[in-house]
Structure 1
Amino acid sequence: MIYCLTGELIKKTTEQAVLSCGGVGYLVQVPATVAASLPGVGAQATLYTYMNITENDVSLFGFATEEQQACFKMLIGVSGVGPRVGMAILSVLSPEKVALAVSAGDHKAFTAASGVGPKLAQRITLELKDKVGRGLAEGLGFGGGDAAAAPPAGAASQALAALISLGYSQGEAAAAVARLDYSLPVEELVRQALRSMAARR
């Protein structure tokens, strides 16, 4: 398994990147969001990867962060979600938005991705609800299990975990956080979410 690649970016498109590492050019499929964040050709770049091996093909899928990588692995664990669909989802939703959509039971958020219809979107939210809820409540992001091995949770994930620990339901907390600006500090996200939930009661 190739965990990550660091090398010179020698080619990139909206769906692929080629990294030259030790004289070998690795073709890596990337979500549109990752392609847009890559530096220019000739610059050094790092991609966290997932290697998919089938009878007729070996493909590498790359991500800008370990959290995206872990989210992708979680998504393709859902029945009916292959690597292409996982990439399509991460092209329109960040890992934090995936977690919040699953927590809130908002399956419609996934239908924005190419290849995801209503039935598959519902299956994604149903199959991942417990896994995402457990990981977020423990502040573990998408890795689950060992906190040391898990990717760091984003501010939105930490705010969601804080609200759940205050006694709010997972759905209530996720719906409140989903409307906020994820670039805010955790404390401000929690403050604004509490204010919005108090106003609705």
Structure 2
Amino acid sequence: MFYYLDGTVAELLPYLAVIDCGGVGYACKTTNNTLSALKKGQRGRVYTYLNVGEDLFDLYGFATQNELNSFKQLIGVSGVGPKAALAILSIGTPETLAMAIVTGDEKSLTAAPGVGKKLAQRIILELKDKMSKDVSSGLDFSGGRGVPAPAMFASKATEAAQALAVLGYSSQEVSAALKGVDVEKLPLEEIIRQSLKKMVR
């Protein structure tokens, strides 16, 4: 229904940003990261997600599409509601979430209020499994050289691709972003960082 809201930031409250668009204040539930990116009284834009249910009509807003995509991925996991998803995305960035899933880092997820060990394990298991299926086909690890990368480097590229897929990028977008990135020499985090720079929307 709403793709984004662009207007004056009227209020910033814990987990809530109010965006004034043409005299109408839209209350968007959000994360600490988005709140820190907005300034009261100044123009701001948030990418939105509308959660509609029998007794629900909640609007969520995020400063970046990466954060919105990560939110959607999280609430797609059984047992993860919007509140838990916001908590997870408030203690780190979408990139750190992606790294946690790819590396199986439960501790970084359980640092979020209300997220226990079992839920963290489920998030990692479900998203990692989903991402490995999504990105295992159609990826080109030749780096634009036309020569397939050795298996050990392709594996590192696959991990990077899985992390990027957590942020909502398609296998075609991931393949294009990985081309030209030195997967042989760079650490995983740097591969992800450089790829993201090429895909900034």
CA distance in 1, matches of 2:182, 2:106: 23
- Equivalent of 1:137 in 155, 161, 166: 161
Match of 2:139 in 1: none
1:99, 1:132 within 8 Å by CA — same for their partners in 2? no
Between the aligned residues of both structures, percent identity stands at 40
- Count of aligned positions: 166
Deviation at 1:14, TM superposition (A): 2.7
Conserved? CA contact 1:8–1:19, under 8 Å:
yes
* 1:90 has 2:89 as partner: yes
Query: Is the 8 Å Cα contact of residues 4 and 48 (structure 2) preserved in structure 1?
Result: yes
For structure 2, the residue ranges without an aligned partner over 5 or more in a row are: 136-159, 196-201
Per the normalisation by structure 1, the TM-score is 0.71
Q: In 2, Cα distance between the equivalents of 1:186 and 1:17?
A: 30
Pairing 1:1-201 to 2, within 5 Å after superposition: 1-39=1-39, 41-133=40-132, 134=134, 136-137=160-161, 142-145=167-170, 147=172, 163=183, 166=184, 177=188, 186=194
**Deviation of the 1:186 alpha carbon:** 2.9
1:120-140: CA deviations, max 9, x gaps? Answer: 000000000033454542865
Moved more, 132-141 or 110-119: 132-141
Report the Cα distance in structure 2 between the residues aligned to 1:162 and 1:116, rounded to whole angstroms. 36
| TM-score normalized with structure 2 length | 0.71
Answer whether contact 1:6 1:21 (CA < 8 A) is retained. yes
State the one-letter code of the partner of 1:143: G
